[in-house]
């Protein structure tokens, strides 16, 4: 009948070796609006589609700046993302305080991975219902990581999570080879183009529903970094207009059949 | 201030932080750990109409020794980047350098967290109150420092807040702290607040009228700071080497370094 015998808590395996509570948490990620991340040799960008509950309400925040050298985009339960981003903020501050150094991205992402994993192992706890894309720069250059409620984390070249994100991923896969050498502006353009792919028919990108986060290195291998900056509202107009008027911007590439 | 650092009441004659008590062996040797030292130096802050200047010498001492000729006592607080380019507040700490450094790190982390949680930089007024609670939090094992916090208030006017080691604080026009505070403060009273200055040719006794108080322009305040330190360097052995000034305006924080006598 239903799978209901083995999905009451996150400490019970099903006979097939699955933990249904964790899989349900992954469903929560798919309910969230889409976010896209791309990384090149010099920059990492996050692009997010914000949603408003109703016409009169504000748009839910999707991109959060964590520290000078990194930020994240979320899909799923925003309150769970706040818990995780607070934790990340504290970890990166304490790294700077005790070691006088910016925390390496991989360490930070693993630490939230460990936290999420713990929640799938103890009775009474529940998995986080949020997926994250973490973009940043550390001593080894720009990085993009994906985080899932199961505790799984992995480094990506480009990634999209959230509702209808498959369309965005298809775009990213088709343009994959362009990303490595792309500059900052180009990367944002690709991000927004990917976002546009996964929009519902009657929707379009506007300054209200877009968020862009950018972080990068100033020069190749240089220590000086371009600090993570979140662009919202009118600050994204330049890019939104660019992508809105025609997606065949020079390299054209991707065709959209209606 | 220096007196409170001394472990020996006999040495309260000359105002130095190092121990001058004779070290003759008499009876059983007593061991103890004293968690504080004084690293000398002096700081100074003056607020103007639309700016605040906070300055400190860069010498670090222990006893008659110089640890380094360049150890800043003045710090930008609460910026979003490592370089603190977008900071709006400045903290100066003088006294025990380790405590001063710890206090600065802690305040910086707190102000950064405030910006993260509220999405805007912290006001000087709020930061001043918070710094007081941080200091009082160690009421029974104090940070052995005299702190001065500077910035611009909500109206864009210069603001200076001065503290004692356990968090008592007030907003002031100007304040000197540290080893040479007693040398600089009277000079400031006279030159910034025009104390004991009267209108010329007005007579004596009840006829005396105080000189009108006007806010000083920035270039004059800078000159006052330099003169105050040049003067202190001459008369106090713990002050010298370099002068680091931070000037807070609506356009950001400007840093000026000026060499002082190294003797």
Inside any domain, residue A229? yes
Inside any domain, residue A15? no
Lowest mean pLDDT segment, chosen from A42-51, B30-39, B55-64, B68-77: B30-39
| Averaged pLDDT, A187-206 | 94
Looking at CA atoms only, how far is residue B80 from chain A in angstroms? 6
- pLDDT score of B91 more than 80: yes
- Amino acid B9: pLDDT: 47
CA separation for the pair A129, A131 (Å, rounded): 7
- Amino acid B3: pLDDT: 47
Chain A contact probe: residue of B116, B120, B121 with most A CBs at under 10 A: B116
- pLDDT score of A249 more than 50: no
Interface size A-B, in CB pairs within 8 Å, comes to: 16
Residue ranges per structural domain of chain B: 42-260
- Amino acid B15: pLDDT: 52
- Amino acid A246: pLDDT: 63
- pLDDT score of B81 more than 60: yes
- pLDDT score of A133 more than 80: yes
CA separation for the pair B167, B186 (Å, rounded): 23
The string of DSSP letters for chain B reads -HHHH-S-GGG-SS--SS--------SSPP-----------EEEEEE-SS-EEEEEE--EEETTEEEES----EEEES-SSTT-TT--EEEEEEESHHHHHHHHHHHHHHHHHHHHHHSSPPPHHHHHHHHHHHHHHTTTS---EEEEEEEE-TTS-EEEEEE-TTS-EEEESEEEEETTHHHHHHHHHHHTS-TT-B-TTS-SGGG--BPPP-PPPHHHHHHHHHHHHHHHHHH-TT--SEEEEEEEETTEEEEEEEE----
Searching chain B, which residue's CA lies closest to the CA of residue A85? B116
Q: List, for residues B191-202, the tens digit of each pLDDT value.
A: 999 999 999 988
CATH number at residue A189: 3.60.20.10
Inside any domain, residue A253? no
Instruction: Single out the residue of A190, A181, A164, A188 nearest to residue A254, CA to CA.
Output: A190
Identify the three-state secondary structure at position A157: coil
Q: List, for residues B219-237, the tens digit of each pLDDT value.
A: 999 999 999 999 999 999 9
- Taking contacts as CB-CB distances below 8 angstroms, the residues of chain B near A68 are 80-82
- Taking contacts as CB-CB distances below 8 angstroms, the residues of chain A near B109 are 93, 97
- Amino acid B17: pLDDT: 60
Q: CB of A7 within 8 Å of any CB in chain B? A: no
Inside any domain, residue A147? yes
| Interface predicted TM-score of the whole assembly (ipTM), two decimals | 0.85
Tell me the pTM: 0.87
Looking at CA atoms only, how far is residue B211 from chain A in angstroms? 49
- CATH for B42-260 is 3.60.20.10
- Amino acid B241: pLDDT: 98
- What phi, psi does B50 have (nearest 5°)? -135, 25
Lowest mean pLDDT segment, chosen from A239-243, B13-17, B126-130, B213-217: B13-17
What total number of domains does chain A contain?
Answer: 1
The string of DSSP letters for A79-121 reads HHHHHHHHHHHHHHHHHHHHHSSPPPHHHHHHHHHHHHHHTTT
Q: Which domain holds residue A59?
A: 20-246
């Amino acid at each position: 009948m239903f799978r209901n015998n083995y999905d009451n808590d996150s400490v019970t395996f099903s006979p097939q070796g699955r933990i249904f509570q964790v899989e349900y948490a992954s469903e929560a990620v798919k309910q969230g609006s889409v976010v896209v991340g791309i990384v090149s040799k010099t920059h990492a960008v996050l692009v997010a589609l914000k949603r408003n509950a109703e016409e009169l309400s504000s748009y839910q925040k999707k991109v959060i700046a964590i520290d000078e050298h990194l930020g994240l985009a979320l899909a799923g339960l925003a309150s769970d993302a706040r818990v995780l981003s607070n934790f990340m903020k504290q970890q990166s501050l304490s790294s700077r305080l005790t070691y006088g150094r910016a925390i390496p991205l991989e360490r930070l992402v693993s630490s939230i991975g460990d936290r999420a994993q713990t929640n799938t192992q103890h009775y009474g706890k529940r998995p986080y219902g949020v997926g994250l894309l973490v973009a940043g720069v550390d001593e080894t250059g720009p990085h993009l990581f994906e985080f899932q409620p199961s505790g799984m984390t992995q480094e990506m070249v480009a990634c999209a999570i959230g509702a209808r994100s498959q369309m965005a991923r298809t775009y990213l896969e088709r343009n994959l080879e362009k990303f490595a050498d792309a500059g900052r502006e180009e990367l944002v353009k690709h991000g927004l183009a990917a976002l546009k792919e996964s929009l519902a028919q009657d929707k379009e990108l506007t300054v209200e529903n877009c968020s862009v986060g950018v972080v990068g290195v100033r020069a190749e291998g240089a220590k000086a970094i371009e600090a993570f900056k979140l662009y919202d509202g009118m600050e994204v107009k330049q890019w939104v207009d660019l992508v809105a008027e025609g997606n065949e911007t020079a390299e054209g590439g991707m065709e959209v059949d209606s | 201030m220096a007196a409170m650092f001394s472990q020996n009441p006999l040495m309260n004659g000359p105002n130095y932080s190092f121990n001058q008590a004779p070290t003759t062996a008499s009876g059983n040797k007593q061991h103890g750990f004293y968690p504080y030292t004084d690293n000398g130096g002096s700081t100074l802050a003056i607020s103007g109409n639309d700016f605040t200047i906070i300055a400190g010498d860069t010498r670090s001492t222990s006893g008659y020794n110089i640890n380094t000729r360049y150890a800043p006592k003045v710090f930008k607080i609460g910026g979003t980047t490592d370089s603190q380019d977008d900071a709006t507040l400045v903290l100066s700490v003088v006294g025990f350098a380790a405590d001063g450094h710890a206090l600065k790190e802690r305040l910086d982390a707190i102000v950064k967290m405030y910006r993260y949680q509220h999405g805007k930089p912290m006001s000087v007024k709020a930061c001043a109150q918070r710094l007081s609670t941080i200091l009082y939090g160690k009421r029974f094992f104090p940070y052995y420092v005299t702190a001065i916090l500077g910035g611009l208030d909500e109206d864009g006017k210069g603001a200076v807040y001065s503290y004692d080691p356990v968090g008592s604080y007030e907003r002031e026009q100007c304040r000197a702290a540290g080893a040479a505070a007693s040398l600089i403060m009277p000079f400031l009273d006279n030159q910034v607040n025009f104390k004991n200055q009267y209108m010329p040719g007005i007579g004596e006794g009840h006829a005396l009228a105080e000189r009108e108080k006007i806010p000083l322009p920035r270039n004059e305040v800078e000159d006052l700071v330099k003169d105050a330190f040049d003067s202190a360097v001459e008369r106090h052995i713990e002050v010298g080497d370099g002068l680091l000034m931070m000037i807070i305006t609506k356009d950001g924080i400007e840093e000026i370094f000026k060499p002082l006598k190294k003797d």
